[in-house]
């Protein structure tokens, strides 16, 4: 586990997991580009999520909705009126902060939502600006976090979606009409969401453009929901364990009743122990019938379910497991990061679970200036590359090549040496144990089929 964000950020840049975006223009507001290994890791996590929560279940289907959706959706959902954070500016250095975050850090008080109290608390405690040290603040005021843009043919503003969930609710009827889904069932979606966060930061923890993996799980309001809710919580936890989280770095945080959003009966977060402290990793909420009722009232369309077994028509309730993909990536990177060994033997190794490792196998010819070794190594590479994502590397000495693959988190390295030309075998080196075994080339596909699971 990485004990500092700096070490992880440096490795991500050095090895091509994530770069500061727009860097040649000086960077842009804490946004990041996933590099060649980062995008592989990201895609593997997405695929594992889809397999776990959609394909491996009989009660789930998926959709892929647009980022730009009808503005009325966000009025009905309450985002236009209430998706606000409280901000204050330092009068001295002009830096902007979340008022509730400053107060919570200084006093431990959670004053979300009350602007007057926040302003008073900042003054009373003489809370200092983290940037310049002065305690001279503007009044706290609300700021709507949705990004606005314009669309040809539409009067007024249109928003970049602040969560993926909206598209799921408004397609509820289409999914019912086109699929043989029966309650309880869920609709999943992975995609970008945008929030004009007052302060973004901590690498990919808080971004303004990020990706969510969300599920709306529709249930019968007359049946008990607590067990379904707990099962989803356990499934969320198991997913993070599959991504390599240690049990002790995950915990449950239940939102106190008095802090719940008006539509929520219960909200629980999975929190992760980041190097900067415990923070939200994903959420789970019972949203009741709030969303379907709101969209039904605002659109004039009935968003109901008909249960043919007992002739009942009703508006389903919804359990919402909501994952942030970038936070799942951050958690996976932090959990994989390992420093081990002493002196010459010291190494940094990313011990990713094999299923999400960006590269599964690296193939090395022992020397780059021996055409017969290169040809044999290429033959091995071609055999493996169509089944697993492989990398070919003939650059530098073998020790350095191992160190590079350790930092990328590649589970296996295959070296083709002079003996390979005689015995048609290669050396396979295991990332975690560093043990090396001699395996016949004809056995490699079998070997990796059994071991890359």
Each residue 144-163 as x (binds ligand GAP by CB under 6 A) or -, in order, gives -------------------x
Q: Please report how close the Cβ of residue 164 comes to ligand GAP at its closest, in angstroms.
A: 7
| Residue with smaller CB distance to ligand GAP, 121 or 211 | 211
| Residue with smaller CB distance to ligand GAP, 80 or 434 | 80
Query: Nearest-CA neighbor of 278 among 241, 253, 260?
Result: 253
Distances (CA, A) of 200 to 98, 145, 397: 10, 12, 41
3-state secondary structure of 315: coil
3-state secondary structure of 280: strand
- Is 333 an interacting residue with respect to ligand GAP (CB under 6 A)? no
Among 283, 288, 353, 358, binds ligand GAP (CB under 6 A): 283
Distances (CA, A) of 199 to 89, 120, 208: 11, 21, 9
| Residue with smaller CB distance to ligand GAP, 31 or 125 | 31
Residues 261 and 322: beta-carbon distance below 8 Å: no
- Is 324 an interacting residue with respect to ligand GAP (CB under 6 A)? yes
- Is 327 an interacting residue with respect to ligand GAP (CB under 6 A)? yes
- Is 280 an interacting residue with respect to ligand GAP (CB under 6 A)? yes
Structure tokens of 106? 């200084």
Distance from C-alpha of 451 to C-alpha of 453, rounded to nearest angstrom: 6
Return the range that interacts with ligand GAP (CB under 6 A); candidates 129-137, 277-285, 372-380, 393-401: 277-285
CB nearest ligand GAP: which residue? Answer: 324
- Is 332 an interacting residue with respect to ligand GAP (CB under 6 A)? no
Binders of ligand GAP in range 195-224 (CB under 6 A): 195, 197, 206-207, 210, 212, 214
Each residue 167-196 as x (binds ligand GAP by CB under 6 A) or -, in order, gives ----------------------------x-
Binders of ligand GAP in range 13-72 (CB under 6 A): none
| Residue with smaller CB distance to ligand GAP, 332 or 420 | 332
Residues 389 and 381: beta-carbon distance below 8 Å: no
SS (H, E, C) 114-182: CHHHHHHHHHHCCCCCCCCCCCCECCCEEEECCCEECCCCCCCCEEECCCCHHHHHHCHHHHHHHCCCC
Distance from C-alpha of 286 to C-alpha of 271, rounded to nearest angstrom: 18
Rounded-to-10 torsion of CA 213, 218, 221, 225 = -50
| Residue with smaller CB distance to ligand GAP, 281 or 377 | 281
Binding site for ligand GAP (CB under 6 A): 163, 165, 195, 197, 206-207, 210, 212, 214, 280-283, 320, 322, 324, 326-327
């Amino acid at each position: 586990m990485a004990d500092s964000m700096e070490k992880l950020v440096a490795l991500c840049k050095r090895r091509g997991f994530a770069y500061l975006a727009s860097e040649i223009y000086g960077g842009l507001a804490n946004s990041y580009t996933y590099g060649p290994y980062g995008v592989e890791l990201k895609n593997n996590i997405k695929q594992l999520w889809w397999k776990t929560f959609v394909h491996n279940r009989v009660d789930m289907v998926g959709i892929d909705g647009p980022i730009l959706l009808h503005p009325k959706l966000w009025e009905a959902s309450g985002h236009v009126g209430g998706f606000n954070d409280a901000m204050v500016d330092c009068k001295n250095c002009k830096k902007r902060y979340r008022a509730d975050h400053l107060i919570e850090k200084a006093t431990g008080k959670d004053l979300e939502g009350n602007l007057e109290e926040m302003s008073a608390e900042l003054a009373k405690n003489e809370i200092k600006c983290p940037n310049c040290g002065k305690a001279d603040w503007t009044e706290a005021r609300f700021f709507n976090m949705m990004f606005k843009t314009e669309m040809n043919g539409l009067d007024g503003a249109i928003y970049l979606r602040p969560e993926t969930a909206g598209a799921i609710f408004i397609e509820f009827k289409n999914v019912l009409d086109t699929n043989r889904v029966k309650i309880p069932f869920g609709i999943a979606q992975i995609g970008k969401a945008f929030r004009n966060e007052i302060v973004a930061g901590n690498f990919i923890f808080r971004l303004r453009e990020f990706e969510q993996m969300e599920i709306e799980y529709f249930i019968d309001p007359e049946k008990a929901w607590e067990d379904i809710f707990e099962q989803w919580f356990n499934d969320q936890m198991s997913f993070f364990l599959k991504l390599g989280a240690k049990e002790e770095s995950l915990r449950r945080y239940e939102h106190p009743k008095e802090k719940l959003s008006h539509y929520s009966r219960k909200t629980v977060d999975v929190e992760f122990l980041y190097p900067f402290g415990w923070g939200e990793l994903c959420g789970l909420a019972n949203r009741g019938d709030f969303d379907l009722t709101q969209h039904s009232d605002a659109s004039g369309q009935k968003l109901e379910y008909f249960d043919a077994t007992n002739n009942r028509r009703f508006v389903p309730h919804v359990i919402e497991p909501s994952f942030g993909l970038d936070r799942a990536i951050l958690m996976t990177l932090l959990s994989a990061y390992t420093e081990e060994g002493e002196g010459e033997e010291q190494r940094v190794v990313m011990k990713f679970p094999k299923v999400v490792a960006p590269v599964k196998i690296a193939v090395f010819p022992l020397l780059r200036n021996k055409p017969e070794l290169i040809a044999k190594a290429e033959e091995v590479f071609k055999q493996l590359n169509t089944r697993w994502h492989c990398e070919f590397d003939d650059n530098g000495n073998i020790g350095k090549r191992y160190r590079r693959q350790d930092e990328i988190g590649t589970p296996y390295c295959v070296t083709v040496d002079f003996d390979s030309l005689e015995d048609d075998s290669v050396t396979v080196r295991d990332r975690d144990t560093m043990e090396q075994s001699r395996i016949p080339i004809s056995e490699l596909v079998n070997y990796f089929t059994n071991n890359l699971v």
